Structure 1
Amino acid sequence: MTLTLTDHPDMFSRAGKAKAKQKVTAKQRQDQSRGRIMLTIGAFMLLYGVITGRLIMLGTSDPAAAAARGSAASAIATARPDIVDRNGEILATDIKTASLYAEPNKIVDPDEATELITSVLPDLDAGQLRKKLSTQAGFVWIKREITPKQRAQIFDLGIPGVGFLTENKRFYPGGPAAAHIVGLVNVDNQGIAGIERAIDERGLGDLHEAGFAVKGSEQEPVRLSVDLRVQHVLRDELVGAMQRYQAAAAMGVLINAKTGEVMALASLPDFDPNDPVDANKPDRLNRITAGTYELGSVFKSFTFAMALDSGRVKMSDSFDARAPIRVGRHVIHDSHAQARFLTVPEIFQYSSNIGTAKMALAIGGDRQQDYLKKFGLSVRLKTDLPEVATPQVPKRWSEATTMTVAFGHSIAITPMQAAMGDVALVNGGNFLNPTFFPRTQDEALAESTPMVSKKTSDEMRWLFRFNSVNGSGRHADVPGYVVGGKTGTAEKIVNGRYVNGHYLNSFLASFPMDDPQYVLLVSVDDPKPEAPGKPALAAWNAAFVAGNVIRRSAAFLGVQPRTANESHPDAMLVSY
């Protein structure tokens, strides 16, 4: 049977619908593709618009404003690690503080803004501030590191174009207690003195310059060898000494004789690193490492050590001290003249310049210079602090120089050099460089160099103790702690001449002398007699101060006092 279209009319309808559906689907796909293309074009146009706008903004912005913002960002990034003492007590930390800035191109009335700001910050120069605010700059600092109260007061004024940035500020909880050790930072939180500067020189500064903004809380604390308790004791005794003896200055350092760790260091006058307005005054330098002095009879310790170590002098020898020695226009004489032959221990006990000079002649000038270099007294000392002075050593070495250097004249060294030399004299003969960071005895010995023999060290310990029992160190001999030491009363030089009656008085001590754990050096600059009729010599001031420091700090240092029932601590004196 033949079929026709008229026989099945619905067949045409179905075919037409299929074709129409195909047309609709194709159109939808075309519309969707066109939408995606337009969306992509729009996204690119938006991206390029943002980039173009940013470039225009940067191109039209004030270069000074951009630089200032960069400086501000750098300051904010410069977080520093805490500095703590050996027991974890905080010596320096970061706190958040507000800094005040302005956008002069948004300031409506510079005169009014100046008047309002200076009403809260009267220390600002109104004329200079008005000039700053009258420009079209995009950013200027008004004042860095303002107080929370000042920030609140300025905020309440509601000055258009004035704002605040939060920055890191260094805070020192102890104030001036350890100022010359810890040092200080500048307004951008960069270390400029002391351990703060040393930290930057060890790599922190490079990290900040490279743009690594490590938060202070994410950095490990820097632990020092210093004991804050002992530091307070030392500084307190030096403050008292300046008042008691009307001195121009005072200084002291206490060192672990086994490791070379600095336990405490103070130099007065000092400064408060929280408000360092006086920090750059000449009299505020760290005298222990950055000042050089003729230390007088303290220096005799090294002459005795080199004489004994060289083998040219023995403890049983005697020297003629009956008459002064004439050297050109000068005369070497003794302050406590005995006018007789003196044994080596007696020369030390009476601090005889004549006997010491003759011992130096027995050594010879060349060997004396070799020993001075070996003792670290004629070269710049290596230490963690950036502030270190170079010793002043005679350029020509005559026979007269040999004799005067022997008792601490004609050569100026830092007090730290004297203290570290004494460390080697009592610890068995091992010279150590001082450190302000924790160090074990094994680590110290690995870095040490031999200075004198153990026999010489034993003999020097005997002499130090002998002097504290029978000589000028009696006022520093704290019962129970077996203190030994040497005094030094050095005439000061004014306008190139020694001035009688003006002294730098020192006491170099060690304790306990049968097994020295610590070395202490105390100096009092230009002291006056404590009372009419009393001398102003080292035995009457510096030795007293040293004794007080030992008495108050020994327990913190773990040194136990000897009791009467224990073996006699001066049994070592019987051997000579």
Structure 2
Amino acid sequence: MALTLPRLRFGGFGGGPARPPLRRSDALLRMGRGRLGIAIVCFVAVYAVIGGRLVQYGLTDLDHARNYGVNDRILAARPDLIDRRGKLMATDIRVPALYGEPRRVIDPDEAVEALASVLPDVDYQDWHRKLSSGAGFVWLRREITPKQQADVMALGIPGIGFRNETRRFYPGGATASHIVGLVNVDNAGTAGIEKYVDDQGLGTLQDLGLDQSDALEPVRLSIDTGVQHVLRDELVQAMQRYQAIAAGGVILNAKTGEVVAMVSLPDYDPNNPFNAHDKDRLNRMSAGTFEMGSTFKAFTTAMALDSGRVNLQSRFDARNPIRYGRFTIDDFHAKRRILSVPETFIYSSNIATAKMAEVVGIEGHREFLARLGLLDRMDTQLPEVARPTEPSEWKQLNSITISFGHGVSTTPLQTAVAAAALVNGGKLIPPSFLPRSQAQANAVAAQVIKPETSAMMRYLFRLNVENGSGRRAEVDGFFVGGKTGTAEKVINGRYSSDHRFNAFLGAVPMDDPQYVVLVIIDEPKPEEGQPSATAGLNAAPTVGRVIRRAVPLLGLTPRYEADRDALLVSY
């Protein structure tokens, strides 16, 4: 008799056949298969694109296929550069470029001879070598004129053609060359704001082919092209008038740190930058370092006043020179008497200024200059920024000489930035070549001196223009203030009285300074009828002429009703 076993059923409801529970290993296996499928699809898609591209290349003439990358790069777009009022400073234009396809050139000798008949400065040997090379593509000349293009086309030479490329055009020419900068033959930024724009991501966009001109917003700068023109024009005249080897200047918004205008001469035309890399074309304002002479006395005076150990009634003995080892510190126009702080400032006494620095001490002196940003590399949009130099170890003699502007070299631009802090209430604001609101400026500003110290410095700056070495910077109705600086240059390792670097550091108007104006003149000669070539005789009047022409363009108008008492500091 057969034994019949009952049929077993596994769990489940509803009477239907039940399935065994899914094990964890089976679930992981199914998930892995799903991910593998997705990866396979992705690989297929990628290789399909690559295969399609290869097919495209295969169906395209070899000579044209080789130059897709070249075409993409030379057609790369750049954003326009505009000034603070929207005026164009740099833009793209399309220009033809001449190329050859050597494999299609029938007779290289005949082709070169024909091209030379309509194009200037043809390098016969180089062009013949290129057209005889058997290559698929060679550049012959970039950026030719439309007339030259028409003349070459009329020759009808097989294997000679044209491609449009993008060229940068600067409507202002040399006016703002050190600010806007340069691009190379491939339209990539190499200097100035052009390089800054590339460093912000434009270069990556070009590499990805996403640099369509209609998608690039213009880059607005803080520069006012009208003021920029005035500053450059006055500096060109100053170089001629004083027979100087170089000159420079900057106009800085004292409230926001915006650079409104900046010029360094000699400069260059970015539309034809054949001499842009010559040594004398250096951007002296941000990429050159100089001993700024007596303009540094403003910082020494502010340091002493801010320390609380000196006030406007303090007096310093300037009857005798300071002798330190084999060095003697004396005054250019010695008074040989005890001087008050205002007298020390307007008479530009080396002796009394050095004694003010002694009150603060060596460590305090260096800390104060560092606090004002005069010892560190400046942070701004321009790539061309030099690092200041200072003694590796500060000693007493270093502190003495640095107090009146010898021994530390810094850039003129950061000198102007530090001076703005002396007159704007004590706030150090990093310079900007891009527009900046007052709120944005306040967010990056650092309080470096007391507001009371700033008020005293405004008084001293104004007093120096009224009664001191800055008298020739005066402009009626604008309440100019400032400090002269005449520094002897180091020639063959020694200071030379025949080679001077002059500066005038000014601000306007001194009852509420809106702008700082700094002018430098390198190795000026005495103007006809003048006994010497100190800063009071050349840099100061140049600042006066700049203010007279430029400041009204910035919205400031002369005020004749104001009383001098508004600038007095109670002592």
Q: Which residue of 2 aligns with 1:80?
A: 78
Letter in 1 for 2:184: N
1:364 Cα deviation after fit? 0.3
Q: Which residue of 1 aligns with 2:251?
A: 254
- Contact kept, 8 Å, 1:253 with 1:266, in 2: the verdict is yes
1:72 Cα deviation after fit? 2.8
1:184 Cα deviation after fit? 1.1
Q: Which residue of 2 aligns with 1:315?
A: 312
- Contact kept, 8 Å, 1:466 with 1:573, in 2: the verdict is no
CA distance in 2, matches of 1:121, 1:350: 64
Q: Which residue of 1 aligns with 2:153?
A: 155
Q: Does residue 1:196 correspond to 2:170, yes or no?
A: no
CA distance in 2, matches of 1:68, 1:323: 77
Letter in 2 for 1:117: L
- Structure 1: 5+ residue runs without aligned partners? 1-48
- Contact kept, 8 Å, 1:506 with 1:524, in 2: the verdict is yes
CA distance in 2, matches of 1:560, 1:503: 35
Q: Does residue 1:371 correspond to 2:368, yes or no?
A: yes
Which of 500, 503, 523 is matched with 2:500 structurally?
503
1:573 Cα deviation after fit? 2.5
* Cα-to-partner distance string for 1:268-288 (whole Å, 9 max, x where unaligned): 000000000010001101100
Letter in 2 for 1:136: G
Which of 295, 298, 315 is matched with 2:295 structurally?
298
* Cα-to-partner distance string for 1:396-444 (whole Å, 9 max, x where unaligned): 1110001001011010000011100011111100000000111111110
Q: Which residue of 2 aligns with 1:103?
A: 101
* CA shift in 2, pair 1:67/1:383, >3 Å: farther
Q: Which residue of 2 aligns with 1:71?
A: 70
- Contact kept, 8 Å, 1:68 with 1:140, in 2: the verdict is no
1:66 Cα deviation after fit? 5.3
- Contact kept, 8 Å, 2:469 with 2:536, in 1: the verdict is yes
- Structure 2: 5+ residue runs without aligned partners? 1-50
Q: Which residue of 2 aligns with 1:29?
A: none
Give SS of 1:410's match. coil
* Cα-to-partner distance string for 1:104-128 (whole Å, 9 max, x where unaligned): 0000110011111122222231101
CA distance in 1, matches of 2:454, 2:54: 78
Q: Which residue of 2 aligns with 1:135?
A: 133
- Contact kept, 8 Å, 2:249 with 2:263, in 1: the verdict is yes
* Cα-to-partner distance string for 1:223-249 (whole Å, 9 max, x where unaligned): 111100100000000000010010000
1:52 Cα deviation after fit? 8.7
CA distance in 2, matches of 1:302, 1:138: 65
- Contact kept, 8 Å, 1:172 with 1:273, in 2: the verdict is yes
CA distance in 1, matches of 2:156, 2:396: 78
1:289 Cα deviation after fit? 0.2
CA distance in 1, matches of 2:104, 2:407: 66
Q: Does residue 1:401 correspond to 2:398, yes or no?
A: yes
CA distance in 1, matches of 2:324, 2:147: 69
Q: Does residue 1:278 correspond to 2:240, yes or no?
A: no
Give SS of 1:417's match. helix
* Cα-to-partner distance string for 1:450-485 (whole Å, 9 max, x where unaligned): 110100100100100010101011100100000000
Q: Which residue of 2 aligns with 1:338?
A: 335
Which of 459, 462, 467 is matched with 2:464 structurally?
467
CA distance in 2, matches of 1:410, 1:467: 24
Q: Which has the larger radius of gyration?
A: 1
Letter in 1 for 2:566: A
Q: Does residue 1:328 correspond to 2:325, yes or no?
A: yes
Give SS of 2:336's match. coil
1:326 Cα deviation after fit? 1.1
Count of aligned pairs between the two proteins: 521
* CA shift in 2, pair 1:322/1:102, >3 Å: same
Q: Does residue 1:233 correspond to 2:244, yes or no?
A: no
Which of 455, 461, 476 is matched with 1:458 structurally?
455
In the superposition, the TM-score normalised over structure 1's length comes to: 0.88
In the superposition, the TM-score normalised over structure 2's length comes to: 0.89
1:561 Cα deviation after fit? 0.2
* CA shift in 2, pair 1:498/1:52, >3 Å: closer
- Contact kept, 8 Å, 1:360 with 1:403, in 2: the verdict is yes
Q: Which residue of 1 aligns with 2:570?
A: 575
CA distance in 2, matches of 1:399, 1:61: 74
Which of 212, 215, 230 is matched with 1:214 structurally?
212
1:213 Cα deviation after fit? 3.4
CA distance in 1, matches of 2:199, 2:53: 40
Q: Which residue of 2 aligns with 1:224?
A: 221
CA distance in 1, matches of 2:347, 2:525: 23
Q: Which residue of 1 aligns with 2:38?
A: none
1:495 Cα deviation after fit? 1.9
1:567 Cα deviation after fit? 3.0
Letter in 2 for 1:147: T
Q: Which residue of 2 aligns with 1:476?
A: 473
Moved over 3 A (4+): 49-58, 65-69
Give SS of 2:249's match. strand
CA distance in 2, matches of 1:259, 1:123: 50
1:486 Cα deviation after fit? 0.1
1:68 Cα deviation after fit? 4.5
1:203 Cα deviation after fit? 1.0
Q: Which residue of 2 aligns with 1:31?
A: none
1:67 Cα deviation after fit? 5.2
Q: Which residue of 2 aligns with 1:16?
A: none
CA distance in 2, matches of 1:50, 1:236: 59
* CA shift in 2, pair 1:247/1:203, >3 Å: same
